[in-house]
Amino acid sequence: MKITRAAMAAVEAHAAEGYPMEVCGMLVAERGSEAVSQALRVRNLVQDRHDRYEMDPRDQIRLQRECDRDGLEIVGYYHSHPDHPAQASETDARRSWAGPVYLIVSCASGRVVDANAFVAERDGGPMREEPLEIVSG
């Protein structure tokens, strides 16, 4: 997975601001592009736990419509793991779909310390790590 520095910085800022709770969002690219160029925040409906997230479907629909209008494509999703490794959990795998990329960032004491990308081999996992490359742009 390729992601621009600006998009990665947006994911990191969101994770730091949301710490110690999990944050989540969508990864967006221009149609036909190989690199994620935007990270769009989605409200986490789970407010009382630091180890779960559920994307607000209204945010998802609104962002999908905006992307369609602007010729952009949602290519994946991101979320944070507060004080835990940037590895796909069993829950992450069970809730994954084949196709999109999943970016997980580890946020320790309010600072992102690691990031990894994953893809699901089929709906519901298992997930395998995908090379993560930060590019300019």
- pTM equals 0.96
C-beta separation of 111 from 16 below 8 A: yes
CA atoms within 13 A on the CB side of 123: 0
pLDDT (0 to 100) of residue 69: 97
Residue 49 pLDDT exceeds 80 = no
Q: What is the DSSP string of 12-37?
A: HHHHHHHTTS--EEEEEEETT-SEE-
Domains in the chain with CATH codes: 2-135 (3.40.140.10)
Residues whose CB falls within 8 Å of the CB of residue 64, separated by 6 or more in sequence, listed in order: 74
pLDDT > 80? residue 137: no
Residue 114 confidence (pLDDT) above 90: yes
Q: What is the pLDDT of residue 110?
A: 94
Confidence band, pLDDT 50/70/90 cuts, at residue 123: very high
Q: Do 129 and 101 contact (CB within 8 A), yes or no?
A: no
What are the pLDDT digits (tens) for 2-43? 999 999 999 999 999 999 999 999 999 999 998 999 999 999
Q: Say what the pLDDT of residue 57 is.
A: 97
Kindly report each contact of residues 31-38 with a partner whose C-beta sits within 8 Å and lies 24 or more positions away, as own/partner. Answer: 31/71, 31/72, 31/73, 34/2, 35/2, 35/3, 35/4, 35/135, 35/137, 36/1, 36/2, 36/3, 36/4, 36/7, 36/75, 36/76, 36/101, 37/4, 37/6, 37/7, 37/137, 38/7, 38/10, 38/72
